Amino acid sequence: MKDSTAPAALKDVAPASPPSPASLLRGALATLRNVSAKEVELEEVSATEARNEFAHMMETAARRGVVVIHKQNTPRAVLVSFDEFRALVTRPDHTLDVLTAEFDRLLARMQAPGARAGMKAAFNASPDDLGAAAVAVARRRRKVG
């Protein structure tokens, strides 16, 4: 039974097909880049294809870097090449502990005796004074680098 309260234009519209698993993954990941920092074209296979053609899927992952495995039109797993895996495992550690330690060092530096006077002077400085200080710092950095 059709809903007589729906606008006529909406009564006969078929529901939109669900997005592909790769497009869902692309939406979740802003960009997916390989070890060489190049965008990776996602290869997608169903779980059945993955089971039946594992050797082919493994070669595809080795060649392209990543294969998305979906089940019932939903991404369920990703097979990555060994190079991609090694790059993920050996990349620098920026965990919450590392960031917390860095924050604590910065906070301690800001709590040092001269920091309060420096911040007060910075907030009370004129635009010309701030500009001159920025130029002086840039010149010192240029001499060092």
When divided into structural domains, the chain yields a total of: 2
Is 59 in the same domain as 84? yes
Query: pTM score > 0.85 for this model?
Result: no
Is 45 in the same domain as 63? yes
d(CA 42, CA 17) in angstroms, rounded, equals: 20
Domain that holds residue 42: 12-90
Q: Assess if residue 61 is contained within a domain.
A: yes
**pLDDT values of the chain reduced to their tens digit, one per residue, 145 residues:** 444 454 444 445 555 666 665 565 555 543 466 666 677 677 888 999 999 999 999 998 888 888 889 898 888 998 999 988 888 777 766 678 888 888 999 888 888 888 888 888 888 999 999 999 999 989 988 887 6
CATH number reported for the structural domain that contains residue 71 in this entry: 3.40.1620.10
Report pLDDT for 115.
84
Residue with the two structure tokens 């519209």: 13
User: Do residues 72 and 95 lie in contact, with contact meaning Cβ atoms separated by under 8 Å?
Assistant: no
HSE toward the beta carbon, residue 122, CA cutoff 13 A:
8
CA 6 from chain centre, in angstroms, equals 41
d(CA 12, CA 133) in angstroms, rounded, equals: 68
Report pLDDT for 53.
93
Is 16 in the same domain as 76? yes
Is 61 in the same domain as 105? no
Q: Which of 73, 37, 69, 39 is nearest to 56 (CA)?
A: 69
